[in-house]
Amino acid sequence: MVETVAGEAVDALGWEHLVPPDLRGRTVVVTGASDGIGRESALHLARWGARLVLPVRDRRAASDIRGLLDGERADLVNVAGVVSPGRRETVDGFELLLGVNALAPMLLTESLLPVVRERVVLVTSHAHTSGRMDHDDPHFRRTRWTLPRAYSRAKLTAMLWGLDLGARMPAGTQVQLTHPGWVVTNLQNASGHARVDRLVTMASRPLAMTAAQGAAAVLFSLTQPLPPGSYVGPDGWQHLRGRPTLIRRSARALDRGEAARTVAWMRREVGLDGTAPGRAGPA
């Protein structure tokens, strides 16, 4: 029995001394749950008894994840949401942990803040350390777009938003930031060239972590007692693999002035400042 609990904790949370949490009666919203790290996180949360809200954009993917979750513990799972592109959904009445995965969660998260009861987890990346903000050209309309530049900027943006959000959270709630590590998922299929994608996936597979191992940092951030605003990632070399622990973020991700400027721009972009979304000019 002891071995089983320790084994389960290693599989889910990376550390054998942690007790898998009992999340019965708690609600967790997980975005990006149709695949990869988000899906693995959702499966564990279901096993632990959480009521799940999974805003998945594709109906077939929603039905696939519902099938997987039904195989876990149908009585405790409710896949409540399918978000249609461009439509704003109202989700209400949670007592809640909020898990956030995927790239542009600001509108959803900020809209849900009034019902957050415990914490928001933002899945970012250590790629943020090479990110640079450019408030004159945030979308690379005039400067050269490359995937690594865009990705690292997006992740630095999320880190800065997380920093700012942490200071605005209602009493008793908190934000956690997570880097899952180097994980084999669909993320390796983003080059736009099938052959390159295959090569990247083949090269990554023997070295990188599985999606289940990558979910450990997210689940750790979501369920373990941590100082508010912590940044969690794998403890191995360059934080590519390993067990979840507190890690250092870049100095740029700690710049509160930059965070305020970035968040003002983000709010304009998504229409949270009262203007039409996407009409924002340079910050």
Ligand X SMILES: NC(=O)c1ccc[n+]([C@@H]2O[C@H](COP(=O)([O-])OP(=O)(O)OC[C@H]3O[C@@H](n4cnc5c(N)ncnc54)[C@H](OP(=O)(O)O)[C@@H]3O)[C@@H](O)[C@H]2O)c1
Interaction of residue 109 with ligand X, rule CB under 6 A: no
Compare residues 5 and 270 and give the one whose CB is closer to ligand X: 270
Residue number of the CB closest to ligand X reads 36
Residue 34 CB, nearest approach to ligand X (Å): 4
Token pair 């924002």: residue: 280
Cβ-proximal residues to 160 (8 Å cutoff; 6+ apart), any chain? 133, 253, 255, 258, 259, 262, 263
Q: Among residues 6, 9, 103, 200, which is the contact residue for ligand X, using CB under 6 A?
A: 103
15-23, 110-118, 162-170, 178-186 -> range binding ligand X (CB under 6 A): 178-186
CB of 122 to ligand X, least distance (A): 9
Interior angle at CA 229, CA 224 and CA 230, nearest 5: 55
Asked if 259 and 163 touch (Cβ cutoff 8 Å), the reply is: yes
Choose among 178, 159, 180: nearest CA to 254.
Answer: 159
Closest to ligand X by CB, 33 vs 280, is 33
Q: Distance between CA 115 and CA 205 in Å, rounded?
A: 39
* Residue 32 binds to ligand X (criterion: CB under 6 A): yes
For 34, 119, 157, the CA distances from 260, given in Å and listed in that order, are 32, 21, 11
Residue number with CB closer to ligand X (38 or 138): 38
Q: Which one of the spans 66-74, 100-108, 132-140, 163-171 is the region binding ligand X (CB under 6 A)?
A: 100-108
First to last CA, the chain: 56
Q: How many residues bind ligand X (CB under 6 A)?
A: 21
Stretch 134-173: interaction string toward ligand X, x if CB under 6 A: ----------------------------------------
Distance CA 234, CA 216 (A): 9
Residue 41 near ligand X by CB under 6 A: no
Is 231 a catalytic site residue? no
* Residues pairing with 177 in the sheet: 122, 231
The stretch among 1-9, 19-27, 35-43, 270-278 that binds ligand X (CB under 6 A) is: 35-43
Catalytic residue of the set 48, 94, 151, 182: 151
Angstrom CA distances, 67 to 43, 62, 100, 101, stand at: 11, 9, 21, 20
191 binds ligand X (CB under 6 A): no
Place of tokens 């249609």: 84
Nearer to ligand X, 5 or 82 (CB): 82
- Can you give the binding site for ligand X, defined by CB under 6 A? 32, 34-38, 57-58, 61, 101-103, 123, 125, 179-180, 182-183, 185-187
* Positions marked catalytic: 151
